[in-house]
Each structure stands twice: as structure tokens, then as C-alpha cells.
Amino acid sequence: MTHDFSTRAVHDGQGFDPTTGAVIPPVYLTTTFVQKSIGDLRNGYEYTRGTNPTRDSLQQQLASLEGGTRALSFASGLAAEDALLRTVLTPGDHVLMGNDVYGGTHRLVNRIFVPWGIGLGVVNMSDLDAVRAAITPATTVLWVETPSNPLMTISDIAALADIGHEAGALVVVDNTFASPYLQNPLALGADIVVHSTTKYLGGHSDVLGGAVILNDEELADRIGFVQFAAGAVSGPMDAWLTTRGIKTLSLRMERHSANAQAIAEALVGHPALEHVYYPGLPEHPGHGLAARQMRGFGGMLSITFRGGAAAARTFAESTTLFQLAESLGGVESLVNYPAEMTHASVRGTELEVPDNLVRLSVGVEDAPDLIADILAALT
């Protein structure tokens, strides 16, 4: 029997403990497992860098929610991206990524993989003709982030999957901003989904993690070998905290989305603001596409200030409920000045972020309180 999302989030990979009947599966805080005899393992468990029951539970949960057959859980989102890219790239290959992505992703490819001999191209992923023109015979990976960070650009996953596959490239989608509840790239034709599980999946700003989800068993085995050999696995407690967060993902994403929609609508036309970037607004250029490929518009939005960088910085340092911090996707609301925080590493590149832009991660507090906090900081 196939269950709906919220049921799978609570139950898949989360069966009760058969020994005690405990509703919550135990956290296996062990590094090693006793063997029956030399090489005769109990259920395949030998050493936690290789496999661990708590991490296995999380991986089953992630695969179910993204509609994949395999998921691999990593120590961080960038560790997941690194293992994936090390598996599929060799010197001479080319990565084509969007011109508005998480700064750490660009830094990873530009500073680690490019010196190794990997080519890097940057393009507006929402412009399909531009993507076609930017693909080269060496393009091995088409890296898509939608909604994008921090300008909230929406890219057509299904169309990009067709373009990438026609060129023989793997299509990778960073689904961190949307979460599996709002968007499932594998169902739209993508080959691989990556997440920083630190964000909406964990949901409480208390656990670091990353994930790779896919349907290709052979490729999953290869990525799994790199993970095992290099050791960037999520620890048992981190895996357990992530599974706990995922169980309320649907509830939280509904509230995040509703709050962000209310805030975006309240800010449109404000005299201090130049623009409000949120795909839930009808005037957003990607609104129609987002409505088709997402179940909601998410909890992230960005705003630009008529008063330039000085006004943006002043606002970011003036809110109360919105706390000035890196990261996103927690139950608490955060404000971020990307030009000098999350995207400082792309300054001077094609991905440079406007210095009058502020990014908001909208939490699950009461929307009127959040709106009042923003409006007070705008005065």
C-alpha cells in the first residue's frame, strides 16, 4: 500500500524496536559491531563509517520522501556534493551551474574541482536557450538549484532534464530550499537530488547534514564507496535528530510557506524596498512554473532596498524576531546579508549578489508578529 507524504515521513524507516517495542527506534551510538565469526556479520553491520542502523533509518526515510530507491546521508550538504562530484567527474569534464546558487557550491567547484582540471560554466538556468548554448561536449553535470539562493529564481526541472540528457549530462537538483514536501525533482526527470539536511529537513538549527538521493543503483554504490573511503558520513545522533525533524516536515513547510506568503504580500509596494523576490507573488516571473512543479512556494524570500547597501545592512541589524545569522530552514526566523555572509565567496564572480539585498528565512512564529518586526525595522 502506498501512503501519502506525511504518513511516510512519520513511518518509513522508523519501525518500532522489535526487542523492546519502543516506538522510537534507538540511536546506535556504537562505532563497531561484534561479528558472529570472522567475516560473518550481523545484518551486514561491521563499522559505523560503513553502515549504522540509525543512519540506515534516515536513508530509508529520505529515499521514500524524494521518490528515490537509494539515499546516502552525509556529514554536511557540501560533503554530499563533494562525494557526488568526485564520483562522476574526471579531469577534462565540465560542470554547468546556475548563476544564482549557494555560494558554497560554487566555491567547492571553483576552488577545489577547477584546479583538478574540471571546467566550470555559469548560466541563467531559467533561460533554456542560454542553457542549450552553454552546454559543451564535455558537460558532465548540469547543476540546478530551484528556487535559487538568494534571488529565488525558478528553473524548469523537466525541461532542463531533457536538455541535460540530450547532451549526455547528469542533471543534479539542489532541493534544499523547497524540501521534498514541496518539490520532487526525480519525478520531474532529474537524475540526482542533493540536500543540505541541516536546513528544512532537520528543521531546528541543531544538526548538520547532507544527502544524495537517486534511482541509479550502480551510481549509488559508487557514491557510497567514496563516502565509505573518505568517511564523510553523518553520525548516529545527527542522523537521529534529522529523522526526528523530518517527521514534522509537512506541518512546518505549510507554516513556513503561509508565513512567507503573508510577509511577501505585506512588503510589496513598501517605499523603502526596490523589489520583493518570492515565487508566491503573481508578479514573480517564475510564479506559474513554481505553481506547476511545486506544492507550495516555500519559506524563503529576499528583498532589495532603494537605499542601497547601507539601508540593507541597517535593516539586517535592526530586526528582533528575525535573528541575524547564517543558514536557513529552522523553526526560528533568520535574516541574512548575503553579500558579506552566505555569498561572500562569490564576490567578484558572475554569481556576485547585489549589495542591497537581504535574505529572509521565515520561521513558524505567528505571521503578524513577524510582519510587525519587519515593518519596525524598515522605519
Which residues are the active-site residues? Answer: 49, 102, 174, 199
Residue 327 · residue 199 · CB < 8 Å: yes
Q: C-alpha angle with apex 97: 93 to 103, nearest 5 degrees?
A: 115
Bridge pairing between strands 357-361 and 300-305: antiparallel
Max CA pair span of the chain: 73
Residue 93 corresponds to which amino acid? D
Q: What residues contact residue 153 under an 8 Å CB cut-off, 6+ apart?
A: 98, 100, 124, 125, 126, 146, 147, 286
d(CA 113, CA 95): 10
DSSP symbols for 315-376 = HHTT-SSSEE-S---SSS-EEE-GGGTTTGGGTTSTTPPPTTEEEEE--SS-HHHHHHHHHH
Question: What is the distance between the terminal CA atoms of the chain, rounded to a whole angstrom?
Answer: 55
d(CA 365, CA 355): 28
Q: Is the dihedral of CA 115, 117, 119, 120 positive or negative?
A: negative
Residue 106 · residue 231 · CB < 8 Å: no
Which helix (H) or strand (E) element contains residue 212? Answer: strand 210-214
Nearest to 141 by CA among 186, 187, 81: 81
